Amino acid sequence: MTRTKSKADPLLCAVAAAQGGANQPDALFAALDEAVKSAIGHKLFTILTYDSGSGEAARVYSNLPGPYPAGGRKRLAPGPWTEAVLDRGEAYIGYNRDDLRTVFSDHELIASLGCESVLNMPVRWRGRTLGSLNLLHQAGWYGEDDVAACLPFAQLTLPALLAPADL
C-alpha cells in the first residue's frame, strides 16, 4: 500500500521555528508578519492583547510603528464587535470603508494608509480571547476563506501572549 504524504506548509513552519529563537517575542512577531503577508496579504498588521479586567487593548506589534506604535493602548467599548471578537471568539471581516467607520474610531487614519478592509482574528485559550491578529488592506481584500487561513497563524501567537516577559 502506498501512502500519500502531505507536505508541510513552509509559512507555518517558519512561524513555528521562530518560536524557538532567543529574541522573543520579536522573532515570532516578525515571522508572523511575513508569513501572514505572504499567505493572506496586508498593508497594516498589528497584534493586540486584551485585558478583560480593564477592558483595554494593548498593541504589542505593528508593521507600521509610525502611525501605529507598539505600546499603544485603548479602552474598548461594549458593542457588536467586542461581543463577536472578544466574547464569542469570532473573526471579524470589515469589507469596506463604511464597515471600518462603524467599528473603529481611528477609521480616518486607517483610510489614510490605503486600508479599507480588515480581518480581526482572535487568539483564543481556554474559551477566552487573549489577543488578536489584525490585518488591514484595500477594500474587499478579505473573505471568509481568509478566516480559516489565518487561524493557525493566530494560534501560533499564543505562547507570546501567555508567557511572562522574563521567560
pLDDT at 43: 98
- In the sheet that holds 56-62, the strands lie side by side as 73-75, 56-62, 44-51, 128-137, 117-125, 92-94
pLDDT at 3: 79
pLDDT in tens, 34-86: 999 999 999 999 999 998 888 899 999 999 999 999 998 888 888 889 999 99
Residue 1 domain-assigned (yes or no): no
Residue 5 domain-assigned (yes or no): no
pLDDT at 5: 83
Residue 2 domain-assigned (yes or no): no
pLDDT at 165: 56
Residue 4 domain-assigned (yes or no): no
Note the pTM of the prediction, 2 decimals: 0.93
Structural domain harbouring 84: 10-162
Residue 95 domain-assigned (yes or no): yes
CB neighbourhood size of 56 (10 A): 14
Distance of CA 148 to the CA centre of its chain: 13
Residue 19 domain-assigned (yes or no): yes
Residue 119 domain-assigned (yes or no): yes
Does residue 164 surpass a pLDDT of 70?
no
Q: How many domains does the chain have?
A: 1
Residue 167 domain-assigned (yes or no): no
CATH code assigned at 39: 3.30.450.40
* pLDDT-derived band at 167, boundaries 50, 70, 90: low
